[in-house]
Amino acid sequence: MARSRNLKPGFFTNEILAEIDPLGRLLFQGLWCFADREGRLEDRPKRLKAEILPYDACDVDELLNALANRGFIVRYSVGGQRFIQVLNFAKHQNPHVKEAPSSIPAPDEHHTSPVLDRCKPDANTGISGTSPADSLY
């Protein structure tokens, strides 16, 4: 289920994010809407394309790889199922208190296999804020 999320001005001036194709940046925003309260969602590129970029000719798997390579998401698998963790999600988003807890396992290094090489979780924190409401996105 899609949810409302915050988009903050720092999103537009993040120099690391600017290295990603414009459709990749739009996809990143869309991931927030489909992620649960912990910033996790199923890694299903075809479905994500249909839900977030239905009218654009693009390779969502390639765009997800670009986001992972720059430290904005982690793609991982647990028990043969693939998932995405939006890094720093809780720092930048304020999920509704009644939003259900995540049913997706966290990307615990002892029980998951990375889909790609893991990126440093804090690679995208070039812009700081004093509170979640003032943070990057």
- The pLDDT assigned to 129 comes to 39
pLDDT tens-place string over residues 43-55? 999 999 999 999 9
pLDDT tens-place string over residues 12-55? 999 999 999 999 999 999 999 899 988 999 999 999 999 999 99
pLDDT tens-place string over residues 83-112? 999 998 877 777 667 778 788 889 986 456
Q: Is CATH 1.10.10.10 the classification given to domain 10-119?
A: yes
Domain segments of the chain as ranges = 10-119
Angle between helices 60-69 and 22-34 (to 10 degrees): 90
